[in-house]
Amino acid sequence: MAEKVARRLRDVVDLLESAVEEKDWGLVEEALDELRSIVGELEE
């Protein structure tokens, strides 16, 4: 499970880096949604 979470977190980091570079706030929101999803799954 930790490996899967780490992979998903890496994807979110990549998405955030791209969003900041492009100043794309929609992508930032998408990344935040994914982080919330990951946190929700970990809290279960």
1-41: per-residue pLDDT in tens?
Answer: 899 999 999 999 999 999 999 999 999 999 999 999 999 99
Domain boundaries, the chain: 2-43
pTM for the full predicted model: 0.85
What is the pLDDT at residue 1? Answer: 84
Six token digits for residue 41: 């799954």
Q: Residue 1 carries which DSSP code?
A: -
Give residue 14's Cα distance to chain centre.
8
What is the pLDDT at residue 41? Answer: 94
Dihedral of CA 44/6/4/37: which sign? positive
| 8 touches 36 (CB < 8 A) | no
What is the pLDDT at residue 36? Answer: 98
What is the pLDDT at residue 32? Answer: 97
| 15 touches 30 (CB < 8 A) | yes
